[in-house]
Amino acid sequence: MKLTHLQRLEAESIHIMHEVVAQADKPVMLYSIGKDSAVMLHLARKAFYPSPPPFPLMHVDTTWKFRDMYAMREKAAEEAGMELIVWQNPEAKAQEICKPPLKLGQ
């Protein structure tokens, strides 16, 4: 069976994830709540199915996301059975560099 271009890309991505888990001591997947992160999470879940991916998700929180996006982040991690690590830059927060320009949806 000949794979399509998209199937080859998917297979290569899954292979890379398996290699990372086999070779890295403590891998983690960055998760921004965006479309690219959603695709990476889908691939990770597919790569290790039926088990959850054997690494945590890490979200670098700028505090600029809408409340619903944070809820979606929590739900995605829970559904995947993955630990979620959330990090905020304390220096930027103290200097209000991470302060959202608008309070929409908050």
pLDDT bucket at 66, cuts 50 / 70 / 90: confident
Q: 87, exposed or middle or buried, with CB in 10 Å at 0-12, 13-18, 19+?
A: exposed
Give me 64's structure tokens: 């600029």
The answer on pLDDT for 23 being more than 80 is yes
Give me 106's structure tokens: 């908050």
Residue type, 30: L
Domains of the chain: 5-94 (3.40.50.620)
Give me 59's structure tokens: 């979200």
H-run or E-run covering 85: strand 84-87
Interval 1-19: pLDDT, tens: 899 999 999 999 999 999 9
* pTM, to two decimals: 0.84
